[in-house]
Amino acid sequence: MNASAPPVRRSPTHTAHVIMAGDLTPRMRRVTIRSDSLVGLVPRPAQDVELWLRDDSGRRVKRRYTIRQARPDLGELDLDVLLHGDGPGSAWGAAAAPGDAVEFQGPRGKLHLSSAAWHLLAGDESALPAITALCEALPPHEPAVAVIEVRDRADELTLPATAQVRWVHRASSDPGGPELLAAVLRELSLPPGAGHGYLMGETRAMVTLRSVLEARGIAHEAIFVKGYWNLGRPDRIAGRAPDRG
């Protein structure tokens, strides 16, 4: 072993219990978990936890979900789970009930909010928990513009009143493509000054949209890209949502 190698830093592990679960929309369910090990732990906005679940065969799988809200004094986390497909994540979110035990690692995540004249947040419904949490965390003098693709009006959630929100309904179009968001982002009116961009959703779509934001004048290094799911792998949608299904 190389003595000079840096130590491997792993996220802390926790065992928690579900204390509440309820529907936010027909396809989004909030699951609140609590653990004594979470008391005093203050996550950064849009960090996530990695749950250890079981698939239909009993094999252990991991699914990651954004921390929508945290109450460090109580050791509680709210996880908003997008119910999509029939994967182990969606199955857990749909069936979670008070008293259920769940193991997970976290909080984790590389996103750090830094000051900018304004912030543009774009993504699909898998990014709704993260986009909402980030909008809530921004100071009032740094306006947020959010562009969010969802299936229809039933998927919409309330964002902070300080955020300018543009909902993009894909209706019968397939999810996971960049076209609908790109069309809106190209024409969107943006505030003056240097802004930051955040792209969160289907991995390849978000990578494609980076060039759209750069064409709008946002610097490459000022754009954060996070893939929450991959088209063609519906059982791995991140409801980071993180994994969404």
pLDDT tens digits along 159-170: 999 999 999 999
Spatial separation of the C-alpha atoms in residues 29 and 23, rounded to whole Å? 4
Q: What is the mean pLDDT of the chain?
A: 91
Percentage of residues of the chain with pLDDT beyond 90: 84
Per-residue confidence (pLDDT) for residue 6, from 0 to 100: 46
Look at residue 231 in the predicted model and tell me its pLDDT: 85
pLDDT in tens, 45-62: 999 999 999 998 999 999
pLDDT at residue 213, rounded to an integer: 98
pLDDT of residue 76: 98
Is the bond preceding 129 in cis, omega lying within 30 degrees of 0?
Answer: no
**Confidence tier at 225 by pLDDT (50, 70, 90):** very high
Distance CA 208, CA 95 (A): 35
Assign 190 a pLDDT band (cuts: 50, 70, 90). very high
Residue 146: predicted pLDDT:
98
pTM across the whole model: 0.89
**CATH assignment, 13-108:** 2.40.30.10
31, HSE (Cβ side, Cα atoms, 13 Å)? 30
pLDDT grade, residue 136 (50/70/90)? very high
Q: Residue 244: pLDDT band by 50, 70, 90 thresholds?
A: very low
pLDDT at 228 over 50: yes
Residue found under tokens 């252990």: 60
Compute the distance between CA of residue 51 and CA of residue 211 in angstroms, rounded to an integer.
33
Q: Give the pLDDT of residue 237.
A: 44
pLDDT of residue 236: 46
In the chain, pLDDT over 70 holds for what percent of residues? Answer: 91
Domain residue ranges in the chain: 13-108, 118-243
The architecture of the domain spanning 118-243 is 3-Layer(aba) Sandwich (3.40)
Answer with the residue of higher pLDDT: 187 or 5: 187
Q: What is the pLDDT of residue 11?
A: 74
**Interval 134-146 mean pLDDT:** 96
Of 34, 28, 1, 32, nearest to 15 (Cα)? 34
